[in-house]
Amino acid sequence: MAKFFAITIIVIAIASAIPILRHTWVAPEDISTHGALIDEQMSETMAEAGISFLAAQFILAIFIWKFSNPGPNAKIKKFPGGAKGLVVAALLVVGVEVIALGIFGVKAWANVYLTAPSANAMPIQVQAGQFAFYFRYPGPDGKFGPMHPELISEGSQNFYGLDPDHDPDSKDDIVTAEMAIPVNKEIHLLMHSKDVGHSFYVRELRVQQDFVPGLDVSLHFTATKVGRYEIVCTQLCGLGHYNMKAYLSVMSQPDFEDWLKKQAAMQ
């Protein structure tokens, strides 16, 4: 029974590692300038966690195999080095390992969150609401008109509660249900929610950020590959949560300008 248990542990440990080593299920290819650091951090952590996982399971299995149900004359033996050695090993090996991971990880985090967007980053607003995202481009004047929550109306498609009759800055604002951005151009995303908590998650862009009702949250990133990607909500927001999504189209600069013109014409 004990030997069978030991073998089961080893088989499970190896079987668990195979899909990781074979990259059977992996995140889609990164299309951001900052994502490489996150992916690298993920790989390093996988190596350390994987070795720890396999080592612990193997040692557990070996000891179960070797020390279960011994004969009546077997003597109790103490592990050489005792607890002190183990505590020192845990402090040194695991302590150094995790602190190193933490310190190296700061760079990847700082790249996304602790650096300000550059002055020429393109501002785009995104508003999350049950169960859709709406995006707003400031138009030729480069300014977003003020929002009036009391004017928000899905029925009349005034998603942002704009009042272009009284606010000149709102007149040229472009509101869309799909997000388009030029490739290799830094984007400064200004995020707010009109109702409950939501999140903005684009796997390929390596970004995930919650919308916090009552707070303006911002994010900046640069996409490096033309394509169409899904934006999904990852914060439980109500009954339609599973279906709250929009698309991000990364385009060449001329294509983006054409797209924006078409959207402006449709306002």
Partner 1 sequence: MPDMSAHAVQHHAPPTSFIRKHIFSLDHKVIGKQYYGLALLAALVGMALSWAMRLHLGWTNAAIPGLQLLSKTGAPGGVITPEYYLQLMTMHGTIMVFFVLTTAPFAAFGNFFLPIQVGAEDMPFPRFNMMSFWVTFLAFVVLVSSFFVGDGPTLGGWTQYAPLNSVGSVAGPGQGLGVILWMTSIALFCVGQLLGALNFIPTTLDLRVKGMSLMRLPLSAWAWFITSCMGLTAFAVLMPACILVILDHVAGTSFFVPSNTVINDQLQPHSGGSTLLWQHLFWFFGHPEVYIAIVPGIGIVSHILVTNMRRPMLSHRVLIYSMGALAVLSYMVYGHHMFVSGMNPISSLAFSFPTLIITIPSTIVVLIWVFSLYGSKLRINSASLFALGFISMFVSGGVSGFFLAQPSIDIMLHATYFVVGHFHMVMGVAAMFGIFGGTYFWFPKMTGRMMNETLGKIHFWLSFVGTYCIFMPFHYLGMAGNVRRYSSFPEDFLQRLIPVHRFITVAALVTGAAQLIFVYNLIHSRFWGKPAPDNPWEATSLEWSTATPPPFDNFGGKHPVVYHDPYQYGVQSSVGDYVMQASPEQVKTEHEEK
Residues 115-174 that bind partner 1 (CB under 8 A): 129-130, 149-150, 152-155, 161
Which residues have a Cβ under 8 Å from the Cβ of 157 and sit 6 or more positions away?
none
- 3-state secondary structure at position 183: coil
Q: Of 7, 14, 21, 28, which one interacts with partner 1 (CB under 8 A)?
A: 28
Residues 199-258 that bind partner 1 (CB under 8 A): 199, 201, 203, 206-215, 217, 230, 232, 234-243, 245
Q: Are strands 186-193 and 227-232 parallel, antiparallel or unpaired?
A: unpaired
Q: Of 7, 14, 90, 177, which one interacts with partner 1 (CB under 8 A)?
A: 90
Q: Which is nearer to partner 1, 208 or 263 (CB)?
A: 208
Candidate ranges 37-45, 166-174, 181-189, 255-263; the one touching partner 1 (CB under 8 A): 37-45
Candidate ranges 49-57, 137-145, 169-177, 249-257; the one touching partner 1 (CB under 8 A): 49-57
Does residue 177 touch partner 1 according to CB under 8 A?
no
* Cβ atoms 247, 179 nearer than 8 A: yes
| Residue whose pair of structure tokens reads 């003597």 in the numeric block | 75
The C-alpha atoms of residue 130 and residue 48 are separated, in whole angstroms, by 40
The C-alpha atoms of residue 199 and residue 232 are separated, in whole angstroms, by 7
| Residue whose pair of structure tokens reads 């991000």 in the numeric block | 248
Residue 56 phi, psi dihedral angles, 5° rounding: -65, -45
Q: Which is nearer to partner 1, 143 or 203 (CB)?
A: 203
Identity at 115, one-letter amino acid code: T
| Number of residues counted as binding partner 1 (CB under 8 A) | 100
Q: Which is nearer to partner 1, 102 or 140 (CB)?
A: 102
Does residue 87 touch partner 1 according to CB under 8 A?
yes
- First-to-last C-alpha distance (Å) of the chain: 73
Candidate ranges 4-12, 116-124, 171-179, 259-267; the one touching partner 1 (CB under 8 A): 4-12
Q: Of 31, 57, 122, 135, which one interacts with partner 1 (CB under 8 A)?
A: 57
The C-alpha atoms of residue 127 and residue 191 are separated, in whole angstroms, by 6
